[in-house]
Amino acid sequence: MSEKKPALWLRIYTFLVYAYIYIPILILIIFSFNKQKLNIRWEGFTLQWYEKLFNDNQVLLATKNTLLIAVISTLVATVIGTMAALALQRYHFPGYAASETLMYIPIVIPEVVMGISLLAFFALIKFKLGLATITLSHIAFNIPFVTLVVRARLHGFDKSIEEASMDLGANELITFWRVTLPTIMPGVLSGAMLALTLSLDDYVITYFTAGPGSTTLPLRIFSMVRFTVTPEVNALSALWVAIVFVILLISEYAQRRRA
């Protein structure tokens, strides 16, 4: 039985939606190669803005800070989020309902509220703002995302394979490493990639928790566009879009391969 093709209007509608989303990004990438500095009209192809970008020490430092924060916060949030998902999915304990509800709050509240609350907390405990506070903040808002993604994977998990493993002599730890974790790995990787992407792109929470010498790329980009959008900003934004796009492709590939 052959699959029914979607109606013409549905294909046109889908094309228009994608065009609406991606044409502005495509224009940004194209104008990153523009010779004109003011970005008013196209004057010719050049790579000088990318060369200038790679020679900008402030951008390179911001990139280093961003990648360091993203990698550390992703690793920690993935471990904690995975354990939280397992606990919420398998066990009922005092405060279970409250724990489940509280897990959604960092996702649904405005980022500015989250940023102000974290800033107030660090000020209360007299913790100096810097890379450490940004990393801790990113871990805090990434944990719920990882937890929900991993928990969604656990909904279809067959517990009988764990029981079979333990019947064959494996203890709980070996069963987790050799049976449970490989089975839910697509969900873990998806949660990790989502956390990494959110950390790389975050501006609002980072703005409130950053200190001297802890500028990240989103903060740097905002400072560069306060007066005008130059081709150098376009070049930096284009590279940022490419990095996030590659991360999402890797996540999708890993999920399909393990599905």
Q: For 71-119, how does the pLDDT look when each residue is reduced to its tens digit (9 = 90+)?
A: 999 999 999 999 999 888 877 778 878 888 888 888 888 889 999 999 9
| DSSP 8-class letter at 34 | B
Phi, psi of 110 (to 5 degrees): -60, 145
Query: Which pLDDT belongs to residue 1?
Result: 47
How far apart are the C-alpha atoms of 39 and 28, rounded to whole Å? 10
How many residues are listed for the chain in this entry?
259
Q: Which residue did the predictor score with more confidence, 166 or 147?
A: 147
Query: Which pLDDT belongs to residue 3?
Result: 61
Domains of the chain: 56-258 (1.10.3720.10)
- Is 151 in a helix, a strand, or coil? helix
Query: Which pLDDT belongs to residue 72?
Result: 96
**pTM, whole model, 2 decimals?**
0.82
